[in-house]
């Protein structure tokens, strides 16, 4: 579902389909959608794999090209082996350091498995269709709460208490959104995600390594 389609859905859910008297501008609904997508991404991010090139003689690789990065999940080096060879690593700012005995001697390919934010724009979306209801609930909830806050103590065509109705409705939609995130989030996924041995004994909290 692209951004215009989601926007039309939100207007229907919010009963805001009078094109001559919209309560929310397109930009406002798009902003609330993007906020919901970002929050969804932190619970269920998009999985990706990127091939980086090592610098001969260095264990450090720049990860500045990994746009919208959420987390590094695993690092494969050397690439192309079967079974895959996953190595320990550490991350500081935009530098990923391979925690291996010898630095790469050549411009080796290093596969980085990572998660990133989902995107939704005017032509496409990376959010799986089965989660569109979750995104719609979050975006509608944010929109309703914004309008309730704006219209407090203002004269409204729908009556003096219309803002209270939007406030209650918005809170219900956000509660649905949070339940959806909790139900589908990766923390509740039944699958093994660790692909390599940890870089340090879990009981040793003095060294922080990824992930």
pLDDT in tens, 53-71: 999 999 999 999 999 999 9
Same domain, 65 and 164: no
pLDDT (average), residues 132-156? 83
Structural domains in the chain (count): 2
What pLDDT is recorded for position 152? Answer: 63
Q: Are residues 39 and 52 in the same domain?
A: no
Residue 189: predicted pLDDT = 53
Residues 6+ apart with CB under 8 A from 18: none
CA distances from 194 to 23, 40, 120, 199 (A): 47, 22, 29, 12
Q: Which of 131, 141, 145 is nearest to 181 (CA)?
A: 131
Residue 25 has pLDDT above 50, yes or no: yes
Q: Is residue 195 part of a domain?
A: no
Judge whether 75 lies within some domain. yes
Residue 129 shares a structural domain with residue 164: yes
Has residue 206 been placed in a domain? no
- Which residues span the domain enclosing 139? 3-43+120-188
Return mean pLDDT, the chain: 86
Domain boundary among 71, 96, 116: 116
Asked if residue 185 has pLDDT above 70, the reply is yes
Query: Do 37 and 131 lie in a common domain?
Result: yes
Q: Are residues 36 and 55 in the same domain?
A: no
pLDDT band at 201 (very low <50, low <70, confident <90, very high): very low
| pLDDT tier at 191, thresholds 50, 70, 90 | very low
- pTM as predicted: 0.80
- Residues 37, 125 within the same domain: yes
- Among the residue ranges 35-49, 95-109, 150-164, the one predicted with the least confidence is 150-164
In a domain, 205, yes or no: no
């Amino acid at each position: 579902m692209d951004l215009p389609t989601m926007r039309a859905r939100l207007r229907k859910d919010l009963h805001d389909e009078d094109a001559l008297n919209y309560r929310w501008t397109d930009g406002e609904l798009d902003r609330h959608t993007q906020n919901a997508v970002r929050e969804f991404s932190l619970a269920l991010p998009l999985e990706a794999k990127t091939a980086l090139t090592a610098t001969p003689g260095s264990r450090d690789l720049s990860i500045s090209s990994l746009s919208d990065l959420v987390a590094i999940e695993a690092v494969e080096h050397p690439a192309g082996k079967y079974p895959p060879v996953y190595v320990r690593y550490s991350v500081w700012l935009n530098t990923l350091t391979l925690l291996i005995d010898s630095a790469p001697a050549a411009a080796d390919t290093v596969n980085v498995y990572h998660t990133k934010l989902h995107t939704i724009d005017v032509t496409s979306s990376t959010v799986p269709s089965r989660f569109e209801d979750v995104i719609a609930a979050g975006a509608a909830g944010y929109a309703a709460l914004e309008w309730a806050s704006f219209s407090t103590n203002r004269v409204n065509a729908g009556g003096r208490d219309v803002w209270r109705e939007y406030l209650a409705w918005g809170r219900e939609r956000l509660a649905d959104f949070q339940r959806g995130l909790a139900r589908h989030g990766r923390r509740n996924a039944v699958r093994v995600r660790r692909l390599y041995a940890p870089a340090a004994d879990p009981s040793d909290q003095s060294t922080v390594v990824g992930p």
